[in-house]
Structure 1
Amino acid sequence: MSALLYYQWWGWQKQVTEQHKEEEEQLTTYPSKQDPHQVSPKLGGWEFKILRSRRNQFHDPDVLRKVCQEEAQGGWILFEKLDDRRLRFKRPMALREKIKPSPKYDPYRSYYGPRFEWESLLSVILLMMMATLPAYLGYRLVILSQRSAPLPTPPTPSSPLRP
């Protein structure tokens, strides 16, 4: 039973990991449609980033609004909502040097939310219990069965052999 539960948990973890690796996080720049001779290459174009979350936090409109306000400190504009875990932002490359965000905000962050999740810790504790509890109970069963069984009596020596 423990092996079956562990196998199901392992498959679920693998599926979650594959969903996170669907799309690579890369800052991609695209050239501007303006004439390159009129605008310096440093000022033209856009840069993009993807902001991820471990849970479906971006489904809540209040959280989405808060994230967009935080990213606006760095000049990022919501480009598209990929799903409830990923958002794509863009900003003009010219804003790189012009905007000075607050020290608490990282304009190149790619992850939103707490890094530590209680669900992960609880799943590890549950897994350890699933592995150790049957072993401990089996050990106790063997010890109890040995105590309740009568001890074998040693053979009584008959008259000693004398030469």
Structure 2
Amino acid sequence: MHPSTTTTLLTTLFVGLTAALPTTTKLHPRAGGPAIIPIPSTCVISNPNPSPSPADFLPTPSTSSASLYSAYYPSNSANTTQMAEQCLQQCYGYGDHTECKASFFAENVLIPDGQTGAGQLSAVCLLYTRALVKEDFEGAPEGQGTGAWTRNLAC
């Protein structure tokens, strides 16, 4: 074998093996929803809509200016309480644990235009930059906003 061929072959082999060795790199959080993190007892959770009338309700359009995050996913009626609580835990898990001030969860909510599945009914978790008040909600069209659940979070 010619010496330059041997050198080229060894160089290629060395570079290939070196690239395959593990390296230490700091991993950065991946894109996606906020982490579901248990809320410490030092945080105050309150219900801005303590006796909703009607029982099925949705946020009014005026809340869109305070929208922080939204997630639409298939309904799972068997675990709505758990899903609503996880939505609030995502509120706590957003950013530095103080950016999200309120969450809203319901099933059978229309996915808005511009989102995958627009026009279909889905479960929703909405997070907000401010605490919500009773006036931020309105009755939902029949069959929509079922199991609506909202909480404010102060940490």
TM-score, length-normalised on structure 1?
0.24
Higher strand share: 2
Structure showing greater Rg: 1
